[in-house]
Amino acid sequence: MNTQPFVDFALQQQALQFGDYTLRSGRRSPYFFNTAAFSEGGAIRQLGSYYAAMIIKSGIEFELLFGPAYKGIPLVTATAAALAGRLDRPVPFCHDRKVSKDHGEGGILSGADPRGRKILLIDDVLTAGTAARQSVALLRHRGGLPVALAVALDRGAQEADGSLCRARLTRDTGLRCCAIINLQQLAARLAELPAYRDRAHLLRPDGPPLDKPEPDGV
């Protein structure tokens, strides 16, 4: 899969930002990949098409998509719409809420029923897998069968022993992980662009957390 068009698209939407960030995992990072930057109808539709193409290419078998609140909600909506068009069949999806409702349909989940269905999680980035683990626990508690995780960017984060967080997530949860791009592909494209060449070296794999995780980190 040619990743250059997606990287250029993300840069055009200013999804890649540089600074001093604390991630949800407690790790410090000099860059942040922000899918909230895809905040216009045409952009989120195009982003959904990239997710859909990657998912189809991966061959993952699923019956339901799930997007964790908040950023996962527009991502799963756009991806479900794009997949429905490409596959020419209904693609049900659901998402959670930060706070459970006690009125209307109630509950912590909104959308299609996950019970007994193979579920593909849709999220923005994969770092330590904290959000994915929480989603897996939630969905299994409600009878769902999480099988895979699809993200825009795999940051290539490492555990204290040097192993990949992605590999540990798969061992612990059984999730197959796939991404539109990985960190090496993103850095390689930046090195080719004059406007970003001097910052490509900042895109290095995240090491183990140095600080306590913050519940509402970046």
Q: Does 213 reside within a domain? A: no
Structural domain of 198: 4-202
Q: Does 214 reside within a domain? A: no
Is residue 215 over pLDDT 50?
A: no
Is residue 106 over pLDDT 50?
A: no
Q: Does 209 reside within a domain? A: no
pLDDT tens string 13-51:
999 999 998 887 777 889 999 999 999 999 999 999 999
Q: Which amino acid is at 24?
A: R
Work out whether strand 176-182 and strand 145-154 pair parallel, antiparallel, or are unpaired.
parallel
Is residue 212 over pLDDT 70?
A: no
Q: How far apart are CA 200 and CA 194, in angstroms?
A: 10
201 is catalytic: no
Q: Does 46 reside within a domain? A: yes
95 is catalytic: no
Average the pLDDT over 98-113 and give the result.
Answer: 69
Q: Does 212 reside within a domain? A: no
Catalytic residue among 57, 71, 95, 103: 103
Is residue 145 over pLDDT 80?
A: yes
pLDDT of residue 210: 53
Q: How many domains does the chain have?
A: 1
Is residue 120 over pLDDT 70?
A: yes
pLDDT of residue 26: 76
Q: Does 9 reside within a domain? A: yes
pTM: 0.90
Q: How far apart are CA 186 and CA 153, in angstroms?
A: 9
pLDDT of residue 27: 79
Cβ atoms 81, 51 nearer than 8 A: no
CB atoms near residue 177 (< 10 Å): 21
Is residue 185 over pLDDT 60?
A: yes
Q: Does 95 reside within a domain? A: yes
Beta strands in 45-204 (DSSP E): 64-67, 93-101, 107-111, 118-122, 125-126, 145-154, 176-182
Is residue 217 over pLDDT 50?
A: no
Which residues fall within 8 angstroms of residue 23, CB to CB, at 6 or more apart?
29, 127, 128, 206, 217, 218
Catalytic residue among 57, 71, 101, 141: 101
Q: Does 211 reside within a domain? A: no
Q: What is the CATH number of the domain that holds 105?
A: 3.40.50.2020
Q: Rounded mean pLDDT of the chain? A: 90
Is residue 198 over pLDDT 90?
A: yes
| Cα-Cα-Cα-Cα dihedral sign, residues 173, 32, 188, 56 | positive
pLDDT of residue 108: 86
Among the ranges given (2-16, 30-44, 95-109), the one the predictor scored with the smallest mean pLDDT: 95-109
pLDDT of residue 56: 97
Q: Three-state SS for 11?
A: helix
